[in-house]
A and B are shown apart, each in its own frame.
Chain A
Amino acid sequence: MKKITTEDLNLYYGSFHALKGIGMAIEERRITAIIGPSGCGKSTLVRIFNRINDLIEEVRITGKVLIDGRNIYEPDYDLVSLRKSVGMVFQRPNPFPLSIYDNVAFGPRIHRMAGEGDLPGLVEESLKAVNLWGDLKDKLKRSALNIPLEQQQRLCIARLIAVRPDVLLMDEPCSALDPVATLKIEELMTELKKRYTIVIVTHNMQQAARISDETGFMLLGELIEFDRTEKIFTAPSDKRTEEYITGRYG
């Protein structure tokens, strides 16, 4: 089933045409990777899915972005519920300068999703979902800033999960991590896709090949090719995709 669909999507930063006529359909509960050289628009595209780009001045968007069939750019679309259902993980882990417990409880508290009595259960469930409970259950009151980077990134994912999203957007989530930590996050993503739709932006093509079900290749604001990952990495249809993934581009 399609979770996110874009139709003739264009984005302009002032007069700069950053996304050009993007049309794609992202399947539910699968991992979709967006690859492409720096500046091709892949982060911009992903940021559209929870309208973070709205915060940037002079951004103009045309076309449609449908999540569960509804255009998220309709004027009456509830932004708070959008950002709750479409969470984002960034390059560098960005835990709040709070305790581990309060990081995870933050979202449910502000969304009034659970009373204080229910929060411990929700925190435990969220930390378990990212395989952190065993490591952190006795350190919940410690500052989230003092745990290893990889655990911080997992914690950020747990923080999203706590508000029960549908979609997880990940913008280079492993670029600050070493290979072992990267592998752990990738394993986690594969587990998480049973419940969530995941869209990942990555510079690491092997990562896209390892974990994603579908891959989109972007170049200069255009979606050049979007297909099953297996197809993209064995027999891409477009010469530009071929040149990029084989390192002949540039």
Chain B
Amino acid sequence: MLRHFDEELSALNQEIIKMGSLVEEAIYRSVESLKQQDKKIANAVIADDEKIDELELRLDEMCLDLIARRQPVAADLRFIDTAMKITTDLERMADLAVDIAERMLEIADQPLLKPLIDIPKLAVIAQNMTKGSIDAFVKRDVEIAKRTLQMENEADKLRNAVQDELVNNYIVKDGSTAPRAIPLLLVSRHLERICDHATNICEDVVYMIKGEVVKHHLWKLEQ
């Protein structure tokens, strides 16, 4: 039986997809601003964050409205619950893109401390995980979520490598490099946090699809 409720859920789904694509774009552009040392792109990321914030508020309202009026259960409930969590994660990811853009602006007028090697690699993982988490949600695909979750370890390793290098090879040896090193160190941290939020989304998507909690119990996915 087709329900009017399904149309409302479909509208919610569309809004989340829209928010996901805006966040994906914000992360991509923040990384580009850093790679190209382009202040214009960085400023655009910061300015466009408002749209994402507004979308988060609208999605929260839609979810609350559906819970209050429809009293959803089972798959409907899991979908709305996931929607509420995902939007929080997406909004935080967009904020981290803004943070990256801000770090870029902090160092934009100075020469780069060093050629960027691991940060672009970490940025690729962050973008792939963002895309993977949104794809898993859009396609309701546990396998995509699983593959995306597996990328997180590599992100942690790269973040650690960036931090070790900047601290040990630059800040410790020559304190005057700190103003240029710390923003890069923070960028690695922001990128790794983006990966953490993508992980949250993937875990929530698995719960939405299978009704099984894998958060903090990732071994369950292997079963």
Chain B nearest CB from A6 CB (Å) reads: 25
Question: Contact flags (1/0) for A215-250 with B, using CB distance below 8 Å?
Answer: 000000000000000000111100001100111111
With the chains together, A234 CA to B208 CA distance in Å?
10
**Are A233 and B5 touching (Cβ within 8 A)?**
no
**Are B77 and A247 touching (Cβ within 8 A)?**
no
With the chains together, A205 CA to B75 CA distance in Å?
15
**Are B1 and A233 touching (Cβ within 8 A)?**
no
Report the interface size for chain A: residues with CB under 8 A from the other chain: 15
Report the interface size for chain B: residues with CB under 8 A from the other chain: 14
Other-chain contact of A245, B1, B73, B210 (Cβ < 8 Å) = B73
Residue B38 lies at the interface, judged by CB distance under 8 Å to chain A: no
Residue A206 lies at the interface, judged by CB distance under 8 Å to chain B: yes
**Are A234 and B74 touching (Cβ within 8 A)?**
yes
Residues of A within 8 A of B77 (CB): 233-234
Known pairs A242-B74, A246-B73, A246-B76; A234 contacts B3 (CB<8 A): no
**Are A234 and B1 touching (Cβ within 8 A)?**
no
Residues of B within 8 A of A205 (CB): 73
Pairs A–B under 8 Å by Cβ, sample size 24: A205-B73, A206-B71, A209-B73, A233-B73, A234-B74, A234-B77, A234-B211, A235-B74, A235-B78, A235-B211, A235-B212, A236-B211, A241-B74, A242-B74, A242-B75, A245-B73, A245-B74, A246-B73, A246-B74, A246-B75, A246-B76, A247-B1, A248-B3, A250-B1
What residues of chain A have their CB less than 8 Å away from a CB belonging to chain B?
205-206, 209, 233-236, 241-242, 245-250
Besides A206-B71, A242-B74, 18 more A-B contacts (Cβ < 8 Å) are A205-B73, A209-B73, A233-B73, A233-B77, A234-B74, A234-B77, A234-B78, A234-B211, A235-B78, A235-B212, A236-B211, A241-B74, A245-B73, A246-B73, A246-B74, A246-B76, A248-B1, A250-B1
